[in-house]
Structure 1
Amino acid sequence: MPFPSSGKAFASSSCELPDITRDWLHDTVWKTRYRTAFGGDGLGVHPSVTSFTMHEEAHVQAGKLVRDLHDLGQAYGYAGVPRAYQWTGLAGAKVCKPGYHRYGAALDFTRFDWGPDCFVDTAVHGRARRYLRRRYLAVIAMCRKHFGTVLHLHHDPDGSHWNHIHVDRGRKAVAADWDYQTDTTIIQWAARDLAGITDMAIDGDFGPQTEEGFKALRDAFRTGDVDPAASSANFRIWLDLIGRHGMADKDAGEYRADTRAKAAGRDE
């Protein structure tokens, strides 16, 4: 039974949709851990493996995300070293409160871990040194492949997402929409940290500066007429390119759209 996709359905205050409880995503070796606190360095503390309850479809989509992150680490590992995915940090999934969490159709990610020297902590790395911001951006791009809504420190409508990434399936992984802040912020972030447009505002407004950033990325990626707004398949090509560059800490243009042999780009 799929979870609701209409606004009317989410007007309900009940939390009765089917769900499952797991302590892993995609494969039983890739465990989930609950963030219990923050350390003195601001990084989240995830002391032990924890089970989370969520809608089965959300679990499947999150598993695809983790699978793609593993592929990225193996093919485009930081400093040229293959990185095997280890575990995922979460702040929550199914919670009886307004919104998609009520139905187990949303997850709040806090850490993505390929080992002690290669991870993304969502409370710190979005505003850290560029190579860490790039890795965080790679995670955002992979999230968008499998979830329609991705909220983070640069797309934070209520001021609560500075320390976690919220994803939900209220909107599926469709073609890019430049009137949609989830999509526009990804392009702006990539233009700033991959294409070198350091004064790029990451504000979700696809204005003249963002248009120039988009063109710079298109030229660097050599995507030609692969318009990310034309189809979900085209957008995934762009998201994969952003993910590869971000994970490997490379400037836009290091990899091209026809890089298939090591692509992490599986479909939805």
Structure 2
Amino acid sequence: MISFSTIDGTPVYYWRSNRGNTTPRTWYVTQAFYDRLVLWVRDLRSLSSGYGSVSYLVSAGFYVNKAGQHGAGTAMDLDHVRWSGGTTCSPLDQAHASGTQSIRRRYIAVDAVCRRRFRYALDGWYNSAHADHIHSDFGDLPPRCVKGSSSDCKFVQAMCNNFMNSGLAVDGIWGPLTTSAFNTAKSRLAVTGDPHTTSSVWMSMMSKVAQHGFANTAF
């Protein structure tokens, strides 16, 4: 394990016991996971550059003494992102369920950036346990879209609903309506190749989704 308080220079705070706290906190992960976090935060900066720089991140945890990816030091729970221009994205405040479309789209954008670098991203649509954070971990890499994954399917369904008004049930079942909406999204985003089998195609698609989400534009 290594310790850190910033990811590539961006502070990571803890708000669960004191919201708004900006006291530096020491976190622990494996070196390999930290290296992936650096790639992730650089993606986030690049794709959201219209908001200014990423001022800070807030997390509910990385290494935690329990079984699973957190216990292995290969997981992140993301609570909040703030940019220098004042814009925020707050999974902690259940932004995925906001009544404001632009806030939901921004949440999906952050979610998509996570999915560029992490195979497992569990968000507010996945289940109630993740309503207040986005969990990302090292499980089952490389990143790609797996039809049989409830997390991936619900993300795709929510994405299609929020950017194309597809009217899908966010039920985690990859049926013909989800297939049709996903193919429409691929076409509108000019995605070529198979995001289900080719990691680079899925990563490219997630970049395009993130760009639309941060810009609050439909596709």
Q: Does 1:207 align with 2:178?
A: no
Taking every aligned residue pair, what percent have the same amino acid on both sides?
A: 24
How far apart are the structure 2 equivalents of 1:119 and 1:170? Answer: 28
Q: Does 1:114 align with 2:94?
A: no
Q: Does 1:230 align with 2:197?
A: yes
Unpaired runs of 5+ in structure 1? 1-18, 39-43, 253-268
Match of 1:93 among 62, 73, 97: 62
How far apart are the structure 2 equivalents of 1:118 and 1:249? Answer: 13
Unpaired runs of 5+ in structure 2? none
Query: Secondary structure of the residue that 1:194 maps to in structure 2?
Result: helix
Amino acid at match of 1:127: A
How far apart are the structure 2 equivalents of 1:196 and 1:46? Answer: 38
Amino acid at match of 2:210: G
Cα offsets for 1:223-247 (capped at 9, x unmatched): 3x42211311111111111111011
**Cα displacement (A) at 1:115:** 3.2
**TM-score with structure 2 setting the length:** 0.92
On the 8 A contact 1:36/1:47 being kept in 2, the answer is: no
Paired residues in the alignment total 217
RMSD: 1.7
How far apart are the structure 2 equivalents of 1:175 and 1:162? Answer: 23
Match of 1:31 among 7, 11, 18: 11
Q: Does 1:138 align with 2:109?
A: yes
**TM-score with structure 1 setting the length:** 0.76
Tell me which residue corresponds to 1:221: 189
Q: How does 1:1-268 map to 2 (within 5 A)?
A: 19-25=1-7, 27-28=8-9, 30-37=10-17, 45-74=20-49, 77=50, 82-115=51-84, 117-124=86-93, 125-128=95-98, 129-156=100-127, 159-197=128-166, 199-223=167-191, 225-252=192-219
How far apart are the structure 1 equivalents of 2:79 and 2:25? Answer: 13
Query: Secondary structure of the residue that 1:102 maps to in structure 2?
Result: coil
How far apart are the structure 2 equivalents of 1:105 and 1:60? Answer: 11
Q: Which has the larger radius of gyration?
A: 1
Structure number with higher helix proportion: 2
How far apart are the structure 2 equivalents of 1:45 and 1:163? Answer: 16
**Cα displacement (A) at 1:21:** 0.6
On the 8 A contact 1:22/1:51 being kept in 2, the answer is: yes
